Chain A
Amino acid sequence: DVKVTQSSRYLVKRTGEKVFLECVQDMDHENMFWYRQDPGLGLRLIYFSYDVKMKEKGDIPEGYSVSREKKERFSLILESASTNQTSMYLCASSADRRSYGYTFGSGTRLTVV
């Protein structure tokens, strides 16, 4: 089975801190994605990547950056965490541009205080 592993299930950070959310997949998938999910707002795409060192902005990239130095790892960075970034963050991967759907990680619930 494809596994997508997010490093933390729950995270509490202070306003202004730099926050790293890590995501690792073990099936050689080319595509990786970061979403945030908030009640009533559905899934919103933050950033995605089709290949190592490549990144594309999603619908809500402001306040975030990403890094993909290795194919299996896609990191989401909150440069200076703010309370409005309190959310559930979901990482996903898919095989390639032909897709066949996503495999999601278990999610990181981030609280910024």
Chain B
Amino acid sequence: ELKVEQNPLFLSMQEGKNYTIYCNYSTTSDRLYWYRQDPGKSLESLFVLLSNGAVKQEGRLMASLDTKARLSTLHITAAVHDLSATYFCAVDILGAGKSTFGDGTTLTVKP
């Protein structure tokens, strides 16, 4: 059974600071996704990582994937209030077309 663990689950940051969210998973996979969810809203796709060493960046967020370590990171650079949200990682079971989600990291960026 594929298990996906995110940490931390809750993160309070000051604006302008950097931080990293970690996503570990338990079995072989080379497909990992990051989603963002704003309060009361649905999930929207942020990054699709499809191979070992993949790195994607958008604005102040950068995601990377290390399939050998079964680890993805979501790095936040110079946080701003608009980044406050819950971030989920999800990993595909190979060939199953179905993702397993982490529990989500709720990020609060304070002025």
In the complex, chain B residues 30-66 whose Cβ is within 8 Å of any chain A Cβ: 31, 33, 35, 41-45, 48, 50
Q: Are B104 and A107 in contact (CB under 8 A)?
A: no
Q: Are B44 and A104 in contact (CB under 8 A)?
A: yes
Q: Which residues of A contact B99 (CB under 8 A)?
A: 94, 99, 101-102
Whole-angstrom distance between the Cβ of A69 and the nearest chain B Cβ? 20
User: A75 at interface (Cβ–Cβ under 8 A)?
Assistant: no
Closest B residue by C-beta to A59: B100
Given contacts A101-B48, A104-B43, A105-B42, is CB(A96)–CB(B97) below 8 Å? yes
How many residues from A make CB contacts under 8 Å with B? 23
User: Looking at the complex, which one of B35, B95, B104 makes contact with A42 (CB distance below 8 Å)?
Assistant: B104
**Cα separation A17 to B102 with both chains bound (whole Å):** 33
User: A48 at interface (Cβ–Cβ under 8 A)?
Assistant: yes
Q: Which residues of A contact B92 (CB under 8 A)?
A: 99
Which residues of B are in contact with A by a Cβ distance under 8 Å?
A: 31, 33, 35, 41-45, 48, 50, 88, 90, 92, 95-99, 101-104
Which residues of A are in contact with B by a Cβ distance under 8 Å?
A: 30-31, 33, 42-43, 45, 48, 50, 90, 92, 94, 96-107
Question: What are 28 A-B pairs with beta-carbon distances under 8 A?
Answer: A31-B97, A31-B98, A33-B98, A42-B104, A43-B101, A48-B98, A50-B97, A90-B43, A92-B43, A94-B97, A94-B99, A96-B97, A97-B96, A98-B97, A99-B31, A99-B97, A99-B98, A100-B48, A101-B90, A101-B99, A102-B33, A102-B43, A104-B42, A104-B43, A106-B41, A106-B42, A107-B41, A107-B42
